[in-house]
Amino acid sequence: MSFAIYIIGILILIGGLFYVGHLVHMPQAWMIGLSILIFGAGLVGAVSTTRQKDPN
């Protein structure tokens, strides 16, 4: 799959986190912290999945 598709999915997930966090009155600092963690984990997963193997 494409790297861009992974990033778009991660951003949609983070948007959903902010929406649900707002509905349940979660503190904004927690939402920002969780979104940074989710984005970092998603970025590592996307890079490891879409990385081209070295031909050697």
User: What's the predicted TM-score (pTM) here?
Assistant: 0.81
Alpha helices in the chain (DSSP H): 3-23, 28-50
Query: Do 31 and 17 form a contact (C-beta atoms < 8 A)?
Result: yes
Sign of the torsion formed by the C-alpha atoms of 40, 45, 50 and 54 = positive
Give the largest CA-CA distance in the chain: 53
Per-residue pLDDT of the chain (56 residues; tens, 9 = 90+): 788 899 999 999 999 999 999 999 999 999 999 999 999 999 998 888 888 777 77
